[in-house]
Amino acid sequence: MSYIYDIFLSHNGADKPWTEKLAYDIESNTEGRPLKVFFDKWDIKPGANLPEELEKGLTGSRFLGLVMSPQAFKSDWVALERSTAIMRDPAAKLRTIIPLLRKPCNIPSILTPLIYIDFTNDNNYNETLQELVNVLRDKDAVRGGQKSFETVYLQEDKRLLENHLTAFERPAFRTSCIWELFLRQLNEAIDDTQAALNTGKLFRRDKTLVDEYSKASEFKTKEFKDSFKKIAVLLSELKTIVTLFGDNFYVDNPDYKHHDNFYAMLMDLGRKGNKSKIRKAVADMDLIDTKRNEIIIIINNLLAGTGRTLDLIELSSDIIKRGYIGGADLIAKHIQ
């Protein structure tokens, strides 16, 4: 089939000045055969039947260049033009649709499998224009110049995650139980982290705002969505384990009057010399440390390539065995 136009530029009115410049620059390129753009302002005369002219432009164009921006996906005309092109090539085997990302936006799921050309950085406009021209002239694109939506969404999710790290970096959430971590502080840290992931807001206990970011539900890729569902489950499990530790300790030790931190509670058991209770308490503390490490490992896997990582929590039993805490000998002999 022969075509009148090389590309039909579908756009929203808000993007018209930028799109007209793009159309002009495409047709001004002289590095090969002349290229012709269907641009409504140039090719539809006053008084013409708009739907008919758009249909002629679409069917007469080899490619549909879909200028993507937040405004574009609110446009009925852009939606109609996109739907028409998809009907022509539903499986994208003919590669008739070329998504042109003008501004970051939420991409309809039907377009996410397609490779797009990234025009979001104005400083790289000329290089990106050449990528598009190469496609129109059937030349090989510059390697590495194009990205899939999944790649971009993954990058966006990693940036979102870096903002979320505040919720996991507080000492109460990152400290081994044996380092005088208070049960109350840990419970509050778990509650605050759960709330932050659900609401996008991290508060201090006095209700002052520490940080604000997108909610975990706003992650776009399946990897991040699934990972944060797992983190939510782990946080709930962690909360249960910590609560049971405190409840069981006070049931077994009703005369305990000291601070509710793991170290003080364990030292009290050590002075009483109850081996089974000591071993159970240390095992539970290790479980709490391990459960938090499971969360940290998930986060570190998601952070791959960002240069950011969270340190794993050292198990309380290892700290005790190495004698890094006062009174370690009272406990270590029972857990060797």
pLDDT tens per residue, range 251-306: 888 888 888 888 888 888 888 877 888 888 889 999 999 999 999 999 999 888 88
Measured on CA atoms in the order 72, 78, 83, 89, is the torsion positive or negative?
negative
pLDDT(22) > 80 = yes
Q: Which of 182, 226, 281, 246 is nearest to 234 (CA)?
A: 226
pLDDT band at 7 (very low <50, low <70, confident <90, very high): very high
Task: Look at residue 238 in the predicted model and tell me its pLDDT.
Answer: 94
* 8-state DSSP, 305: T
Could you give phi then psi for residue 100, rounded to 5 degrees? -120, 105
How much of the chain, in percent, has pLDDT values that exceed 70? 83
Q: State the Cα angle at 287 between 281 and 292, rounded to 5°.
A: 135
Count Cβ atoms within 10 A of the Cβ of residue 177 and give its class: 0-12 exposed, 13-18 middle, 19 or more buried: buried
Q: Which residues contact 30 (CB under 8 A, 6 or more apart)?
A: none
Count Cβ atoms within 10 A of the Cβ of residue 90 and give its class: 0-12 exposed, 13-18 middle, 19 or more buried: exposed
Residue 95: which region, alpha, beta or left (left: phi > 0; alpha: psi -120 to 50)?
left
Tell me the domains of the chain and their CATH numbers. 5-145 (3.40.50.10140), 156-335 (no CATH)
CB 119 within 8 A of CB 125: yes
pLDDT(12) > 80 = yes
Could you give phi then psi for residue 212, rounded to 5 degrees? -140, 135
Which residue in the block uniquely carries the two structure tokens 């009174």?
327
Given the DSSP bridges, would you call strands 201-203 and 209-212 parallel, antiparallel or unpaired? Answer: antiparallel
pLDDT(90) > 50 = no
Q: Which of 39, 48, 50, 49 is nearest to 9 (CA)?
A: 39
Task: Look at residue 87 in the predicted model and tell me its pLDDT.
Answer: 42
pLDDT band at 93 (very low <50, low <70, confident <90, very high): very low
Task: Look at residue 94 in the predicted model and tell me its pLDDT.
Answer: 41
Mean pLDDT value across the chain: 81
Task: Look at residue 14 in the predicted model and tell me its pLDDT.
Answer: 85
Structure tokens at 133: 């021209």
CB 98 within 8 A of CB 129: no
